[in-house]
Amino acid sequence: MYLHTADGRRIIDAISSWWVNLHGHANPRIAAAIAEQAKKLEHLILAGFSHEAAEELAARLRKWLPSDLRHLFFSDDGSTAVEVALKLAVQHFQNLERPEKAEIVALAHGYHGDTAGAMSVSDESPFTEPFRSMRYPVHRVHSAYCYRCPLGLTRENCHIECVGQLEKLLEERAAKIAAVIVEPLLQGAGGMIVHPVEFLQKVRRLCTKHDVLLIADEVLTGFARTGKMFACDLANIVPDLMCISKGITGGFLAMGATLCTDRVEGAFRSENRTHTFYHGHSYTGNALACAAANMNLQIFDDEPVFDRIRTLAKINGERLAQLRAMHQVGETRQIGTMGAVELVADDAGYLSGLRPKLYAFFLDRGVLLRPLGNVVYVLPPYVIEPDELHRVYDVITEAIETLL
Ligand SMILES: Cc1ncc(COP(=O)(O)O)c(C=O)c1O
């Protein structure tokens, strides 16, 4: 859990170093697995060749993934996993001689990475502002941000009307649309926005009805952040394409993967060589990253990881209930291991003036938290002890009392 600074302080990493770490820093089992692998094979071109660690990882992932997602394409990180999904969706229709079906739909408040394609499907934000000219056009539709409902409804009296905008768009334009991309149930960098399960279920039904592919970007939510191995499991839906990264190696090495169904992959099975998916990164399927990922999944198999997650989620729930009563708190949100507090602020948003003050306050007290503007969230490695997590919430409570 701890980062040790040069001047001898200890800092609790309460955000898993940008949401990647699952089982603690320098986890000895993962470290040993990488060392073992390095003595056998460090890396191998994954075009025309394969290696044991990659084959093992594909087989291990299959155990956890919906059985329809049978095909896996390795890449380097979350952004490239997204790029691959978008390109697969577009070329899928191209190969089927439906090139007009090439447009993408994405959600308001979405974040999918910092490369050009991933930035295009991400919503406008300070991250994308200087790069307007590099972002290709996409359709942007409402997300289910209940606290700031785009339709002015409240969750108690709504029937997920926010999905109506997507419904209308698909009714009018599905012939031109290849895919809808979503962060399932939890929009991360956009403000830790938790969606009602019904929203994702409705999106799935609409995509099916209109013959549009659904891409679930599970880069953040994957590997049990939401309490289930994948957020799509919580909603009981299967996307056509899924992007995974971050926690895949337990937070040790960069790796991304994009999964897809027989239907998507089928369009690439062809004698016609122009139907090939010409996309490959040098370090695709890196053997050391695969070894780390295999050990990560082994830890899920033989340590009580889901018990740890349940304990963590329970504490999140209890402490958020206390915070909700504070007048400085607009809303609290939780899904599994993620707990968030949206603070009342005149300048709500990523550039809120609260952010630098909060960040420094937390760090001064030995807690690494990086608020998303006026949204403070906790997303710790699963090995956090209950007293450490309580300490993180104590510091958040103190910050709200002191700074707001
Ligand atoms: C949902 C989601 N997709 C994609 C990415 C991009 O991942 P990476 O930073 O590994 O490129 C992120 C990163 O935060 C993310 O949260």
End-to-end distance of the chain based on CA atoms, in angstroms? 28
pLDDT of residue 35: 98
User: Which ligand 1 atom sits closest to the C-alpha of 188?
Assistant: 16
∠ CA(385), CA(389), CA(220), 5° rounding? 95
Question: What's residue 102's pLDDT?
Answer: 98
pLDDT digits (tens, 9 = 90+) for 158-172: 999 999 999 999 999
Q: 171 C-alpha to center of ligand 1: Å?
A: 30
Whose alpha carbon is nearest atom 4 of ligand 1? Answer: 112
Residue of 84, 123, 219, 242 with the most ligand 1 atoms within 8 Å of its CB, for mutation? 219
Which atom of ligand 1 lies at the shortest distance from residue 187's CA? 1
CA distance 400 to 343: 8
Segments in the chain below pLDDT 50: none
pTM over 0.95: yes
Q: How many CA atoms lie less than 13 Å away from 164 in the CB half-sphere?
A: 7
Sheet strands (E) in 119-273? 139-141, 177-182, 186-187, 193-194, 213-217, 241-244, 256-260
Closest-CA residue, ligand 1 atom 10, reads: 78
Q: How many Å lie between the centroid of ligand 1 and the Cα of residue 14?
A: 18
C-alpha to C-alpha distance for 116 and 302, rounded to whole angstroms: 40
- Kindly give the distance from the C-alpha atom of residue 112 to the centroid of ligand 1, in angstroms, as a whole number: 5
Whether 77 is in the pocket of ligand 1, judged by its Cβ within 6 Å, is yes
Cβ(257) – ligand 1 distance below 6 Å: no
107 touches ligand 1 (CB under 6 Å): no
Per-residue pLDDT at 37: 98
Choose one of 245, 252, 258, 377 to mutate for the ligand 1 pocket test, by most ligand atoms within 8 angstroms of C-beta: 245
What's the pLDDT score for residue 56? Answer: 98
Question: Which residue type does 275 have?
Answer: H
Closest ligand 1 atom to the C-alpha of 245? 10
Q: Is 109 in the pocket of ligand 1 (CB under 6 A)?
A: no
Per residue in 24-70, pLDDT tens? 999 999 999 999 999 999 999 999 999 999 999 999 999 999 999 99
76 lines ligand 1 (CB under 6 A): no
Closest CA to 205 of 170, 177, 178: 170
Contact residues for 193 (Cβ-Cβ < 8 A; gap 6+)? 109, 143, 144, 145, 147, 186, 187, 333
- Cβ(264)–Cβ(240) below 8 Å: yes
Mutate to test the pocket of ligand 1, among 194, 246, 379 (most ligand atoms within 8 A of CB): 246
Q: What is the mean pLDDT of the chain?
A: 98
Q: What pLDDT shows up at residue 265?
A: 98
Dist CA 330 CA 345 (whole Å)? 9
What is the structure's pLDDT at 172?
98
pLDDT at 152: 96
Which residue has the least CA distance to atom 8 on ligand 1?
78
What pLDDT, on a 0 to 100 scale, did the predictor assign at position 65? 97
